Chain A
Amino acid sequence: MKGFGGPTQAPAWVTHGLVPLINLGLALLIAGIIIALIGENPFEALRLLVLGAVGYPEAIGYTLYYTTNFVFTGLAVAIAFHCGLFNIGGEGQAYLGGLGAGLIGLYLGHWPAPVVIPLAIACAMAFGAFWAFIPGWLQAKRGSHIVITTIMFNFLAAALMTYLLVEVFIKPGQQAAESRTFEAGAWLPFVHDVFAAFGANIGRSSLNLSIVVAAVCLVLFWFFVWRTRWGYEIRAVGHNESAAVYGGIAPDRAIMLAMAISGGLAGLVGVNEIIGVHHRLLLEFTAGYGFVGIAVALMGRNHPVGILLAALLFGVLYQGGSELAFDMPNVTRDMVVVLQGLVILFSGALEHMFRGRIERLFARRARAAVA
């Protein structure tokens, strides 16, 4: 057992490619068995799912719209992971982000769009960051466990939003707990409208310019984590807190920074949903996207490239899953939730089950080749 616990000598494509694929394959296999057990053909289900996700222009639009959300929440979970923190609160932070974007939409929607939209994005990030900063601060300064605090903050966010929508923002004379629709200044343009402005005709979908924000976030994330001092400090604290202290890094600052960034990224889901799609404040628009972020970050190994691929995969699953139910009434979107749980189980909780064995296998081969 030489080198136990040390850095593995397995080639990068094994660690970052093969192992995640095997974990995904296992999750798909079990989901397939479940589909077979309830009397449907899993291969037919997979074919319909892929067709429903990328088979026609509108579907691709919706797939990318879901992907946008998952990039935000995946990056949010990942930055916290880099600091050794598990942020389960993406759901609540996204909810608050939506509130931030919505407040700008409601009160400044009559201003010109080039002013309102950046304001709304900044406000969504600030609200989300605030909602994650408190648990970060409590962890750093008061020693309360981040997991429990972020869970509690999800419920607090839900209570707050329900109160605000039922008692404060509700449109007068209406039953549903929704605000009025924003003025046009606070509408983030749909991608199909942008293309139409240039004379190109693509299918109508919920896909809006938030996807550009997501792309920028992916690049900035890479730069921040691997090319700045703050990113270095966050990673150092995540790897070994006492070593980081020895190196002159203040862990509490890194923790609070990582959580604030995490919350800001999760808050951007509010941009995609509130000013991108719904154009009004409503209940439960986060629809579990915050939790999908956990699966995305785990599968993507906390790297922007991996997160993009994992987010695309879940985008396909979400869009394809809702289409699938039309042809296979017994296989609904809930099946995708099952798959999501399995992915988290295999690539997160059971990551040591195969990883060590596979990496050792390839490490041995590599050494043999050298010899």
Chain B
Amino acid sequence: MEAVTWIVLVIDATLRVSTPLILAAFAGMFAERSGVVDIGLEGKMLGAAFAAAAAAFATGSAWLGLLAGIGASVGLAMIHAFACVTHRGDQVVSGMALNILVAGLGPVLSLAWFGQGGHTPIVADAARFRPIHFPFAERMSDVPFIGQIYSEIVSGHNLIVYIALGMVPLAAWFIYKTRFGLRLRAVGEAPEAVDTAGISVAGMRYRAMIVCGILCGIAGTSISIAQNALFVRDMTAGMGYLALAALIFGKWRPVPTLFACFLFAFADAVQARLQGVDIPGVGVIPVQAIQALPYLLTVLLLAGFVGRAVPPKASGVPYVKER
């Protein structure tokens, strides 16, 4: 019984932690599949987290918070596209610039607007995305196993968790089964072919960056007004880079990326529960070892020691039309 409860709680935490990770990783998938490398996932999430918290506090509406979060993130994505697609700037430099810019701007604006030393005021529960309890969840929680699964894992998450999980099949369908998806993948592999077919390479990449911005916006919103109740500096804490790692670990494909996100989130959930626990035969596993695991796995994968990760062929390469 004890073990079942433990597993249920870990899965519950995995779902919670993986939500922004999944959204950000899929945001990166749209960007990189179109040929734009985006290491600015972190900055877009952080910017969205700030905008969402600020707007939700000011208006008292979680939905306006979400809208502001998406708006901020799409705005940043457009700067990235302007620099990398229109002006053919270095995509990594641009992403880094935005990450650093937002890391400073969030605290500056929250100090100026709310006077609270680099964080926003606490957002009231009414202006947040609160856990949604499914019917009978309360009553079922006493039923062993099935009841626990229903009340803890299926029910009781905030809306964005369900949005993230619903987005995954939608995104997969979008990328593999629609005309937009076909062009998106083509523009990341062979932009000159897409250009020859009379489709604007820049137009496709801008559209991909808008999708990227929207998803990062939802991800950032979930961090500040769903999982927390305010914005604090650096609250994304490297999650954008972790999402990037998950995207690479999933080889830029939807289902493997989803599982990579689950794996990394699971590692985090287990890590939180293993702190100082003496495992028979193994001893105490240092927390940092588990925290480092996703990054180590990604390095090993990229180096071809565990499978092989081949990025979209044209990612990171600005497109120059032949003259």
Contact = CB atoms under 8 A, between A and B. Distances in A.
B87 A152 contact: no
Contacts of B272: none
A148 B248 contact: yes
A88 interface: yes
Nearest to B233: A334
B39 interface: yes
A159 B244 contact: no
Interface stretch (B2-10, B203-211, B298-306): B298-306
A349 B83 contact: yes
B295 A294 contact: no
A144 B304 contact: yes
Interface string A128-164: 0000000000100011110111011101100110110
Contact of B101 (A145, A167, A332, A341): A341
Interface stretch (A11-19, A201-209, A274-282, A350-358): A350-358
Given A86-B92, A167-B286, A330-B111, A344 B97 contact: yes
A156 B300 CA distance: 13
A270 to B, nearest CB: 19
B124 interface: no
Interface in B226-262: 233, 238, 241, 244-245, 248
A344 B298 CA distance: 27
A289 to B, nearest CB: 12
Given A340-B104, A348-B97, A349-B93, A149 B299 contact: yes
Contact of A163 (B87, B88, B113, B289): B289
Contacts of A339: 104
B276 to A, nearest CB: 11
For chain A, what secondary structure do more than half of its interface residues adopt (helix, strand, loop), or is it mixed?
helix
B39 A160 contact: no
A151 B111 contact: no
A34 B105 CA distance: 9
Contacts of B138: none
Contacts of B23: none
B118 interface: yes
A7 interface: no
Contact of A332 (B107, B286, B302): B107
Contacts of A34: 105, 108
Contact of B90 (A143, A162, A348): A348
Nearest to B305: A142
B109 interface: yes
A368 interface: no
Interface string A330-371: 111011111111101100111111000000000000000000
Given A148-B244, A348-B90, A155 B107 contact: no
A331 B91 CA distance: 30
Interface string B140-184: 000000000000000000000000000000000000000000000
11 contacts: A4-B323, A34-B108, A138-B302, A144-B302, A152-B298, A156-B296, A334-B233, A341-B102, A344-B93, A345-B79, A345-B94
Interface of B: 37, 39, 79, 82-84, 87-94, 96-105, 107-109, 111-113, 118, 233, 238, 241, 244-245, 248, 286, 288-289, 291-292, 295-296, 298-299, 302-305, 311, 323
Interface of A: 1, 4, 34, 38-39, 86, 88, 138, 142-145, 147-149, 151-153, 155-156, 159-160, 162-163, 166-167, 291, 294-295, 298, 330-332, 334-342, 344-345, 348-353
Given A340-B104, A352-B89, 19 more contacts: A88-B39, A143-B304, A149-B303, A151-B244, A155-B292, A156-B295, A163-B286, A163-B288, A167-B286, A294-B93, A334-B105, A334-B107, A341-B99, A341-B100, A348-B90, A349-B89, A349-B91, A349-B93, A350-B87
The 8 nearest A-B residue pairs measured at CB:
A341-B101, A337-B104, A349-B94, A38-B112, A144-B302, A338-B104, A344-B97, A341-B100
